[in-house]
Amino acid sequence: MPAADLDSFDRAILAELQRNNLTPQRVIAEHVNLSAPAVQRRIKRLHEEGVIAANVAVLDPARVGRTLTAVISVQLVNDRPDLSRDFRARIAKEAAVQQCFYVTGETDYVLVVTASDMEDYQAITRRLFEGDDNIRRYSTSIALEQVKTGLQLPV
């Protein structure tokens, strides 16, 4: 999908929304030097064009009992779409998987997973990997410290 055609006002609005999407549109309008109705129209268009994919609350994992973060590298026997379809479906369904990337190199997928503890982590890996003959191996790195987390994009 091609990149959207964004002007400087769109980019300024997106930067404001990425900092706090609850910022009133009149405040955004003041910051970007547009009228509130103009900001409202632009935000609506950015939603319709898919530039704004979602409006969500970002939770603190520790405050909701998800104190363990794991980065899991998964290598498949064969990454053909017909053979990896079930794996992708399990990943999509698993709430503990925060992010999943299909990547180049020796690893086929990289997952970011949260768990409440090691027992929970082991249950997650059993749900995701056990019984799938197309998984060659997986390896896990446990995060010791959260240095930076975010989804903000430079605009």
**What is the predicted pLDDT for the residue at 67?**
95
Residue 148 neighbours by CB distance under 10 Å: 4
Q: Which two tokens stand for residue 28?
A: 């955004």
- In the chain, what percentage of residues exceed pLDDT 90? 92
Q: Which domains does the chain have, with CATH numbers?
A: 8-48 (1.10.10), 61-142 (3.30.70.920)
Q: Which two tokens stand for residue 79?
A: 């990454």
pLDDT of 146 > 80? The answer is yes
Task: Count Cβ neighbours within 10 Å for each residue of 50-76 and write b for 16 or more, e otherwise.
Answer: ebbeeeeeeeebeeeebebbbebbbeb
Q: What is the pTM of this model?
A: 0.88
**What is the predicted pLDDT for the residue at 122?**
98
**What is the predicted pLDDT for the residue at 150?**
87
User: Mean pLDDT, the chain, as a whole number?
Assistant: 95
Lowest-pLDDT choice from 28-32, 59-63, 92-96: 59-63
